[in-house]
Amino acid sequence: MTSEELIERLTRDFRPVQRHALGWRLCAGLGLGAAVSFLLVVRLGFRPDLWIAMHGFAFWMKWVYTASLGACAVAATAKLARPDTPPLSWLWVLAMPVLGLAAISVAELAHAPSDHWLEMWLGRSWKVCSSTVFLLSLPIFAGLLWSFRRLAPTRLRAAGATAGLTAGAWGATLYCLHCPEVSAIFVLTWYSLGIGLASLAGALLGPRLLRW
């Protein structure tokens, strides 16, 4: 096929691209995946005291932590979805929520007698927390993979890692609706572990799954 024939074929039934198409595409993938994860959380069951917890500090501490990681990760994913990715040096801001939560953890531990520390760290659900966060991230990651089918990442490993981080952070945000744990050190350890696993998986799979 000559290039002229190719151009002829490509411009036949030509359709305009709506403005912010890239953003919409990412939001659609993220939203579809999050809807599936939300149904999984519904199946797990909301924590019974959800309404009361939403009036307290611990619940919002967890949400602010996971949602701020999620927001940064979405922004980075949107940048990496373009072939000419601008520098991502601003990603150091991801350290802010982590350091903030670490400060709260230290303050909480300092105010508690030391024989409570182990209990605060392990809570009642440390065995399932990270793996549930990771599982809840899978539908979101799949949604983002669908988004990427029309996008053009050129740094596949980085794009996979930020997609995994996005999925992990939003999976964790949804998991907050189920998980009744309240201590900062618990969230800092087990939530972060689940989110970290999701981004690691993304980084490992990125070069294979995001090729175009």
Partner 1 sequence: MQTSEPELKAWMISGLGGDAAAHACLLRALIPMLRGFFRRRMPGQGAAIEDLIQETLIAVHTRRATYDPQRPITGWLFAIARYKMIDQFRASSRYCSIEGLEDMLVTEGFAEASDAATDIDRLLDDLSPKQAAVIRATRLEGLSVAETAARERIGESDVKISVHRGLRLLATRVKDSLR
Residues in the site for partner 1, rule: CB under 8 A? Answer: 1, 3-4, 6-8, 10-11, 14-17, 21-22, 25, 81-87, 150-152, 154-158, 207, 211-212
Which of 163, 96, 97, 179 lies closest to 131, judged by CA?
179
- Cβ 190 to partner 1, closest distance in Å? 30
Nearest CB to partner 1, comparing residues 82 and 116: 82
- Cβ 74 to partner 1, closest distance in Å? 16
What is the rounded distance in angstroms from the CA atom of residue 47 to the CA atom of residue 60? 14
Q: How far is CA 26 from the centre of its chain?
A: 13
Nearest CB to partner 1, comparing residues 24 and 57: 24
> In which region does residue 168 sit, left (phi positive, over 0), alpha (psi from -120 to 50) or beta (all else)?
alpha
- Cβ 26 to partner 1, closest distance in Å? 11
Nearest CB to partner 1, comparing residues 89 and 114: 89
> Which residue type occupies 118?
L
- Cβ 147 to partner 1, closest distance in Å? 11
- Cβ 88 to partner 1, closest distance in Å? 10
Nearest CB to partner 1, comparing residues 47 and 157: 157
Nearest CB to partner 1, comparing residues 61 and 151: 151
- Cβ 91 to partner 1, closest distance in Å? 14
Nearest CB to partner 1, comparing residues 101 and 151: 151
Identify whether the C-beta of residue 197 lies closer than 8 Å to the C-beta of residue 134. yes
- Tokens 């999050």 sit at which residue? 34
What is the rounded distance in angstroms from the CA atom of residue 14 to the CA atom of residue 85? 27
What is the rounded distance in angstroms from the CA atom of residue 134 to the CA atom of residue 155? 23
Calculate the CA dihedral of residues 135, 66, 125, 107 and round it to 10 degrees.
160
Which residues touch 168 (CB under 8 Å, ≥6 apart)?
133, 134, 137, 194, 195, 196, 197, 198, 199
